[in-house]
Amino acid sequence: MDTLSPFVYRIKKLELLNSEDFVFAENLIKNVGIRDSGMVIIESGLLQESIFFVQEGWAVRYKTLEDGNRQIVNFVLPGDIIGMFSPIFQHSEHTVESISPMKLGSFPASQLIDIFRDAPRLALALAWMAGQDERILEEQIVRIGRRRSAKRMAHLFIELYRRLRLCGYTREQAIILPVNQLLLSDALGLSHIHTHRVFRELENHQLIERFPGRIVLQNLAVLASMADFDESYLEPISFAKTSFAL
């Protein structure tokens, strides 16, 4: 893992920020808090007063249905932002809950307007991250709506792996996913029985190995090929190579 925070590691690749912007960014997340696994970070229906930057650990973003079931719409990983748009909405429409111990940097949501006024390049980097979140959600819609179950799971595994690599994790760190059958069932729109069958299929092909509370990816190339994975939606652009200027 790089010595930079995962958030700064991600935005550094944009070749957009100057040294003052990086100082501004690091100062944003000096207020660090720890969350245990199973803690609610954002609760649906409530006003959100802080914006969080994930330094370590994983969470899930989900919607709860009328019957008590839930749909996980995304996994929240190191380098991600939680609740960036909270200042412009009255309350959250989803819940974010930790699935591992987490270290979170944070700043008051009311401060977001100061960033757009005082650090426009950093604001653009945040907007880019929000755009990346939208692209990931688009892939989630396609994944659960059109891909068959085994390809659906393989695609999610490779996406999570690539997201970890892009925020500075080594290959060895990124092949270990703190997820289980229940989480994948809620994320992929599959029944628990069907999820178990898909697990067995991937295990039998020696593509994954399961342990309590985690999954280890074993053959990344075959998993990516099986999922028809195109990572272009995850790759950062270099603003230095575009006509965009501030």
**CATH number of the domain encompassing residue 92:** 2.60.120.10
246: in domain: no
Q: What is the pLDDT of residue 88?
A: 82
166: in domain: yes
**Neighbouring C-beta atoms of residue 71, cutoff 10 Å:** 16
165: in domain: yes
Distance CA 81, CA 29 (A): 11
136: in domain: yes
Query: What per-residue string of b and e applies to 200-237 under the rule 16 or more CB within 10 Å gives b?
Result: eebeeeebbeeeeeebebeebeebbebbebeeeebebe
1: in domain: no
Q: What is the pLDDT of residue 131?
A: 92
28: in domain: yes
Residues 6 or more apart in contact with residue 187 via CB below 8 angstroms: 60, 72, 75, 156
Give the helix/strand (H/E) hosting 157.
Answer: helix 149-166
Residues of the chain with pLDDT under 70: 1-2, 241-246
Distance CA 112, CA 223 (A): 39
Number of domains in the chain: 1
30: in domain: yes
Structural domain harbouring 123:
6-241
Q: What is the pLDDT of residue 35?
A: 96
Tokens for 183, please give them: 């989480």
Residues 6 or more apart in contact with residue 186 via CB below 8 angstroms: 60, 62, 69, 70, 71, 72
55: in domain: yes
